[in-house]
Each structure stands twice: as C-alpha cells, then as structure tokens.
Amino acid sequence: MIRPHGSDELNPLFVYDTAENEALQKEAEGLASIVVSSAAAANAVMLGGGYFNPLTGYMNKADAISVAESMKTTSGLFWPTPVLNLLDDAGSIKAGDRIALKDPNVEGNPVVAVMDVEAVETLTADEKKLIADKVYAASPDEAHPGVDAFNAQGNVILSGPIKVLNFSYFQTEFPDTFRTAVEIRNEIAERGWKKIVAFQTRNPMHLAHEELCHMAMERLGCDGLVIHMLLGKLKAGDIPAPVRDAAIRKMVELYFPENSAMVTGYGFDMLYAGPREAVLHAVFRQNMGATHFIIGRDHAGVGDHYGAFDAQTIFDDQVPAGALDIEIFRADHTAYSKKLDKVVMMCEAPDHSKEDFVLLSGTKVRELLGNGIAPPKEFSRPEVAQILMDYYRSIS
C-alpha cells in the first residue's frame, strides 16, 4: 500500500488504548481548559485520525508563516496549509502548561484533546494578512468565507503536541460514514484493492460526477473508488451532510458494481482555499491509502475566486517533485453530450458547442428541486433527485 506522507507508518494521534484514554480524560478534569474554535477542533479530529500525518500537533508561528510562504515547515516537511489553534486570548496559559481542549461543537463542551503547550505567540495584523494572502489568495475587497473564518479565530497561537480523546460529533452523528485514515487503510486492505482513486465531495453527486468516477477508475485501472465526503462546517446554502450521504449511498448502491466503491466521510471544516486546499486534500488522501486523487474544475473553490484549473496547475508549479507519492487524475468539467448520448469531459469533445451539452446552473437545479421537479435524466439519476427533492420540500 502507498506510504503515508512524511513517514513509513501512519501515526494517528488518537489515544486508542482504553485505559490511557480514560486516564487522560480523568486528568483533563483537573487541567486548565479552553474551548477551541470549530476549525481547531476539526484540526484535532484530523490529527487524531491520521489524516494530518506526520504532524504531532498544532503549528507554531514560524511554521505557520513558513508553510504559508513556501509550503514547507521550518524543518523542511512539505505541507500546504497552516494547522493552527488560534484564540482571541490565552489568559494565563503559558509555555510548559498541559491543558484540556474543549469542543465547541458538542453540547457540554467535552474535552476533545489534551495538549502540551510549547509556545504562546501572537500573530500581528501583517502576519495574519500574509497567511490569508498566501493560503487563500485573498483580495481585500472581495468577500471570502475561508478568510472570514480564519480572521474570526483570533491572533493568539497555541502550539504543541496533542493527544486526541474523541472524534467530536462526527463519529456519533455519522457512524456509518465517518472513517479515520486508519480505518480506510484497513478496509482497503480487507477489500484487496491495490490501486485506489479517491473522489472529494462537499455536494451530492450528479450523473456527471458519477461518470467521472467511472472514467477515472477505467483509465487508471483502479480496483476501487473511495468517495470521501466532507462532514464538517460548510458555507450557508450548502446541502447538509446527512442528505448528501443518503444521495451518494443510493447512487453507489444502484450504479456501481459490488466491492468497487466505498462511501466514507471525514471530519473537517471546509477552508475554500482552492489550490492550496486541493494539495491538502491530496495529502490526506495519500494518508488514507489512495494511490490516485481526482481533481476537477475549481476544486475547493468558492464563487469565481480561483481560476478553473488553478487546483491542477499548482501541482506543476508549486509542489516539488517527490513531495507527494499520490498521483493526480486531472479532470475537466464533465457534462452530458446530446451528440454522443453520454457524459464526456468537455475538453475531449472539441467539435461540440455549449448547446450540445446538458448544462444547468446550481441555482437552476436548486429551483427545480425546490419546486418538486426532477432535473433531466441526463443531469441527475432519478433516485438521487428524489432524495434531494424531499430535502428541499422539507425546508420550504
């Protein structure tokens, strides 16, 4: 199986030993504690599950700035985005303290991790702007949900190693879908897959997405597909995870051969960082055991903030050779061709005009679904459309 990023073995930070986990939870009751941001809690979940291998905890200021500027930590580890625990105020917490990190997303704020604080540092306004500029390609006069979420987290950095005690709400709310990188690697081995392609989604999968996955599997000669959906916080208007989950599972059940596709999810908040987030996605797909990763048009983008294929060209322009072992499958926009009577990549149909494709905007699709009208069969499987129509009717 493919090596994890940065080490020979996967090193998840979740405390799997029951006795040690219980002892840490008891210890945490007597420790100073802070309620972390949703982003920091999601980082803990990803560290706990092995997705952020080989990191051992939250980055300090020097590493965060180095990663923003050069996609490398100060020790030279390739890494595309800072992994931070940002606060408005650290209070009396100081370097050398052992503290409990409390979950903002679960009632009662249970302890999600225990942290050994190595440094307490403050980002200046210029340093915070530098990180936003580099990671999000932020423009000061343009709204960006990722930058807004980053700026809302405060300027104080707590850095140091952590031990993760639970997986927040992801394991309880999505027991059939949430999987750690460890669990996905184990299931890949059990299924006997050798060549695996991963597909990232934060939306339901329409016919074009489904056919893109079939296309990638066929062209790469893959044994299996891991559909890996984001289960964390999204922007307003995005379809909730349980609805996406149900729609994707129905599609796989009806339109994929047995033992060819695995439906899973991971606990992380969307960054909307476009190209940088595409590289981060590749890192944790390698950590979960995928050999290939599909990156399509405007991967992890928001609005028209990034160029259509910036998330692909970053692997040519900014990711050093050998930095990652996982290979990228580059996809163009896929759509149903009326001429060919099938879904194609638009770049592979040079004799087509726009009118030769079935193209619907997200706004139009939501309007149809909200009115109880299924999109055309060339756009969406009827069984998938029914699940989405039921959802839109429930909120109207």
Give the residue numbers annotated as catalytic, written as ranges.
202-203
Cβ(151)–Cβ(159) below 8 Å: no
Contact 308, 297 (CB under 8 A): yes
Nearest to 123, CA basis, from 87, 148, 91: 87
Q: Are strands 156-164 and 57-58 parallel, antiparallel or unpaired?
A: antiparallel
Q: How far does the chain reach from its first CA to its final CA, in angstroms?
A: 47
* Cβ neighbours of 254 (radius 10 Å): 12
Rounded Cα distance between 99 and 74, Å, is 25
